[in-house]
Amino acid sequence: MVDIANSTSAVPPTDDERAGALERQVDETLEATSAAASVEVDALGRVLLGSWAEVRLASREAMEDPQFHRIDNLTKEDHRERTLVQLKALADSGRVHRAFPEEFGGLGDHGGSIVSFEELILGDPSMQIKSGVQWGLFGSAVLHLGTEHHHRTFLPGIISFEVPGIYAMTETGHGSDVDAVGTTATYDEQTEEFVVHTPFRGAWKDYLGNAAKHGIAAVVFAQLITKGVNHGVHAFYVPVRDENGEYLPGIGGEDDGFKGGLNGIDNGRLHFTNVRIPRTNLLNRYGDVAPDGTYTSPIDSPGRRFFTMLGTLVQGRVSLDGASTHGAAMGLAIAITYGNQRRQFAGGDGEEQVLLDYGRHQRRLIPRLATTYAQYFAHDELLQQFDAVFSGRGDTPEAREDLETLAAALKPLSTWHALDTLQEAREATGGAGFLAENRITGLRSDLDIYATFEGDNTVLLQLVAKRLLADYAKQFKGADAGKLAKYAVGQAADRVWHDTGLRRLAQTVRDFGSTARSVSELRDTEAQRELLTDRVESMVADVAQKLRPASKLPAAAAQALFNQHQNALIEAARAHAELLQWEAFTRGLEKIEDAGTRQVLSWLHDVFGLGLIEKHLAWYLMNGRLSPQRAQAVTAYIDRLVARLRPHAQDLVDAFGFKDVHLRARIASGAEQERQDEARNYYAGLRASGDAPVHEKDLRKKR
C-alpha cells in the first residue's frame, strides 16, 4: 500500500527503476509471507496416496515383483505371451476383482478397484490396459449392462480369466461416434436368436484388445433391430473362439499388428457373418427383447438410454486420469533426480553445475511438477465422486452427469500432460533419456494412445463444452428478474470496459506505482480464483452469444456456425478443466498440516495457478483483465517461485513414493552420482599429485 502515493507522482519511474521495484516487491512479498519451508516427505506422501491409501500401497507393493515388469526388445508375439501370463497371475492374486460383487469373490469396492488398477502402470502399461480390457471393459459391461443371468453365467469365467474377453465397440469406420456403428444384431423370432452381422468393411470391429489372439468371447455393440425397428446400439455377449483358439463359424478377423506402444496387447479386428446367438445373450439391463420380438426398456428416450449404457465407460476415463498422472510423476522423479546429480559445464566458481541449477532446466521441470500435484488432488476428488455413484451411495442422474463431465474434463488434460512431461523428461535427460534402460521412452510410447482411447481428448472436451453451454443457458430459463438484471449489469459493465478501455485505463493508473499490491494480489487465492473463473465464464458466454443465431438457422448453416466456433468451445472447456484442477489443488492444500510443507506446497500451488494465467496471458491482456504491468509481474513472480522451489524439488518427487524397483531407471538409481563423485575425486587426486598436465590455455595466459 505504501507505493500507492507514487501513482500521483509527477515524474514516472524509468524502466530500470520499475523493473528493480518489481523484483524487490516480488522478493518482499515472498519474504513477508514465507514460513520456514521444508517438506515432510513421508507425511506429504501419505496425502498423495489419497483416499484408498492402503489399497494403493498394497497394489504398489505387488508391482515390486519382477514378473510384472516390462521387458524391452521383445517381439510383439513374445510381449503378448508375457502379458498373458501376467494377467493370469493377477487373476490368481485376486487383486483385480475388487469392483465385482461379493458373491463372485469381489468386494464391491469401486474406488479401490480403480486405485489398485492404476498402480499396474508401475509394472507394465500393457499389463494395465489388458487388465482394463478384461475386467474394466469386458467384465464391467457384463456386470453393468447385463442382469442376473449374465452375472451367474459369465462373470466367474471373466473374473478368473478362464474366459479372456473382448470389448467390441469401436469399428474401423466409427470410433468417437459409437451411435453410428454399422454392426447389426437382428432378432429372429423363429429361432429366438439374434443374428450378428457386419455389413461392410468399415463396420469391422477394430483396435480391440484380446481380439488378435487371446479372446474367446466378446461383448459386441450392435444396432438392435427387431420387428423392422432399429432400437439403437446395445451390447451382446458373443463367443468368438473355440477351445483351440480357432474362430467360431461366421467369425473372422485380422491382427492390428505392431503398434506405437502397448505391444503386450493383441489388438485386432473382428467381423461377423450372420452369427447366431441366443436371445438371452443380449445384455438386457437397459433394453430387452421378449421371445416374440417385442422391445422394452426402462428408459424411454433412445438418446438417454444410449448415454446411460455408455456411462459405464466412465471408469476407464477415471482410471486413465490416475494412471497418466502417475506416468508424469515417474518421468519427473527420474528427470529431477538425474538433474540433481548430473553436471555439465563449469559454473562461475569453476565447478561443474548440476543441471537443476540452470534457470532453464528449472523452468522446464518445476511447473510440470506443479501441474502433476494439481492432478493428484483433482484425481482423488474424481475417485470419490466415482465411488459415490458406482457404489450407489450417491447415484442420481445429476451425480452421474457431473461425474461424466468431470472425467471428460480431467482425462484429456492429464493424458496430454503425461505425454508432454515424459517428452520433456526425455529431452532433459538427453541421450541417457533415450535409452530404454532409463524407462522414459517406453512409458511415453505406451501412454501415447491414452490421448485418444476411452474417448478422444478433443471429443471429450467438446462434451464438457456442451455441458457448459447447457448450464449457461439454464441461467436464463425461468430466471427471476433480479438474477437476470445482475447478469445484464455484469455484461454491461464488461461492455463499457471493452468499448472504451476505461477500466484498463483505470487499472493502468492504479497499477502504476503499486507494484507491491499487484504482486501480493496475484498470490492471493481469491484473486487467482477470480481470474481463472472469470476466464471460463467469459469464454462460455462469448461462444454462447455467437452461437445464439444457430437456433434460427437451417441445419447446415447452424452446423457451419458451430464449426466456426469449435476451437473456441474446446478452449473454453480446457479453461474449465484447468480451473477444476486448480480448485482441487486449493482444497488439497488445506489437508497439509505441517507448516513447512504447507509453505512449499503453497508456492507450488501458486506456480500452477499463475502458470495457467501466464499461459493464457494474451487473453487476460486482450480482454482487459490484466494490465501490461501486472502481466509482467505474473512472469516475474513465477520465476522467483520456481527458484524458491528448486531446493525442494527432490523432496517433492520423493513424496510420490516410488521406489527404485518401481522407477527402474539407471540414471535415477544413484549411478550418476557415483560417476560424478569418481570423476571429481580423480581430478582432485591428480591435482594433489602434482602430475596434472598444464592446460595450454593457462600457459598462454601466463605469457
- For a copy of itself, the binding residues in 177-236 under the rule CB under 8 A are 177, 180, 182, 199-203, 206-207, 223, 225, 228-232
Q: For residue 174, state whether it binds a copy of itself (rule: CB under 8 A).
A: yes
**Residue 278 makes contact with a copy of itself by CB under 8 A:** no
CB neighbour list of residue 239: distance below 8 Å, 6 or more residues apart: 216, 217, 218, 248, 277
Residue 261 is a binding residue for a copy of itself (CB under 8 A): yes
- Establish if 493 lies at the interface with a copy of itself (CB under 8 A): no
CA distance 126 to 289: 38
Of 2, 8, 10, 15, the residue at the interface with a copy of itself (CB under 8 A) is 15
DSSP states of 447-490: HGGGGTSSS-HHHHHHHHHHHHHHHHHHTTTT--HHHHHHHHHH
Chain-centre distance for alpha carbon 399: 21
User: What is the DSSP-derived secondary structure letter of residue 347?
Assistant: -
Q: Indicate the burial class of 177 (C-beta count within 10 angstroms; 0-12, 13-18, 19 or more).
A: exposed
- The answer to the question of residue 33 lying near a copy of itself (CB under 8 A) is no
Minimum separation from the CB atom of position 58 to a copy of itself (A) = 31
Tell me the window of 92-100, 256-264, 572-580, 651-659 that interacts with a copy of itself (CB under 8 A): 256-264
Q: Are 432 and 667 in contact (CB under 8 A)?
A: yes
Residues 380-439 that bind a copy of itself (CB under 8 A): 419, 423, 426-427, 430-431, 433-437
| Cα–Cα distances in angstroms (integers) from residue 190 to residues 187, 229, 278, 295, 449, in the given order | 9, 17, 12, 16, 44
- CB under 8 A: which stretch of 145-153, 513-521, 553-561, 654-662 binds a copy of itself? 553-561
Residues 317-356 that bind a copy of itself (CB under 8 A): 344-350, 352
**Residue 431 Cβ, how far from a copy of itself at the closest point, in Å?**
4
How far is it, in rounded angstroms, from Cα 240 to Cα 250?
Answer: 9
Q: Does 551 bind a copy of itself (CB under 8 A)?
A: no
Retrieve residue 85's grid coordinates.
501370463
Question: Per-residue x/- marks for a copy of itself, 628-647, CB under 8 A?
Answer: x--xx------x--------
Which residue in 2, 10, 32, 555 binds a copy of itself (CB under 8 A)? 555
The DSSP code for 171 is B
Which residues neighbour 576 within 8 Å (Cβ) at sequence distance 6 or greater? 409, 464, 468, 536, 540
Stretch that binds a copy of itself, among 7-15, 57-65, 210-218, 243-251 (CB under 8 A): 7-15
* Contacting a copy of itself within 89-148 (CB under 8 A): none
Q: How far apart are CA 531 and CA 614, in angstroms?
A: 11
Nearest to 216 by CA among 168, 144, 257, 175: 168
Q: Which is nearer to a copy of itself, 157 or 302 (CB)?
A: 302
Shortest separation between residue 272's beta carbon and a copy of itself, angstroms = 15
Beta bridge partners of 217: 165, 239
Closer to a copy of itself by CB, 220 or 389: give it. Answer: 220
Binding mask 151-170 for a copy of itself (x = CB under 8 A): -------------------x
Name the E strands within 40-182: 165-168
Task: Tell whether residue 378 is a contact of a copy of itself (CB under 8 A).
Answer: no
Q: Angle 314-339/440-447 helices, nearest 10 degrees?
A: 160
Among 93, 191, 475, 564, binds a copy of itself (CB under 8 A): 564
Helix (H, G, I), strand (E, B) or coil at 21: helix
Asked whether position 695 contacts a copy of itself by CB under 8 A, the answer is yes
Q: Which is nearer to a copy of itself, 92 or 200 (CB)?
A: 200
Q: How many CB atoms lie within 10 A of CB 165?
A: 30
How far is Cα 143 from Cα 141, in angstroms, rounded to an integer? 5
In the complex, least distance from residue 480 CB atom to a copy of itself, rounded to whole angstroms: 26
Nearer to a copy of itself, 474 or 680 (CB): 680
Are the C-beta atoms of 518 and 641 separated by less than 8 Å? no
Q: Does 34 bind a copy of itself (CB under 8 A)?
A: no
- Smallest CA-to-CA distance from 278 within 144, 149, 151, 135 is with 149
**Nearest residue (CB) to a copy of itself, 384 versus 445:** 445
* Shortest Cβ 350–a copy of itself spacing (Å): 8
* Contact flags string 47-86 toward a copy of itself, x per CB under 8 A: -------------------------xxxxx----------
If one asks whether residue 466 binds a copy of itself (CB under 8 A), the answer comes out as: no
Q: Which of 27, 679, 684, 687 binds a copy of itself (CB under 8 A)?
A: 679
Contacts of a copy of itself in 607-626 (CB under 8 A): 614, 617-618, 621-624
Residue with cell 459493465: 493
Buried b (16+ CB within 10 A) or exposed e, 305-337: bbebbbbbbbbbbbbbbbbbbbbbbbbbbbbbb
Minimum Å distance from CB 564 to a copy of itself? 6
| CB of 93 or CB of 230, closer to a copy of itself | 230
Q: Enter the C-alpha cell of residue 570.
A: 474446446
Asked whether position 451 contacts a copy of itself by CB under 8 A, the answer is yes
Q: Tell whether residue 445 is a contact of a copy of itself (CB under 8 A).
A: yes
Residue 208 C-alpha cell reads as 480391440
CB of 407 to a copy of itself, least distance (A): 19
Please identify which residue in 109, 124, 256, 606 interacts with a copy of itself, judged by CB under 8 A. 256
3-state secondary structure of 181: coil
* SS3 state of residue 222: strand
Nearer to a copy of itself, 98 or 342 (CB): 342
DSSP secondary-structure letter at 137? Answer: I
The answer to whether residue 696 forms part of the interface with a copy of itself (CB under 8 A) is yes
Please identify, using beta-carbon distances, which residue of 64 and 456 lies nearer to a copy of itself. 456
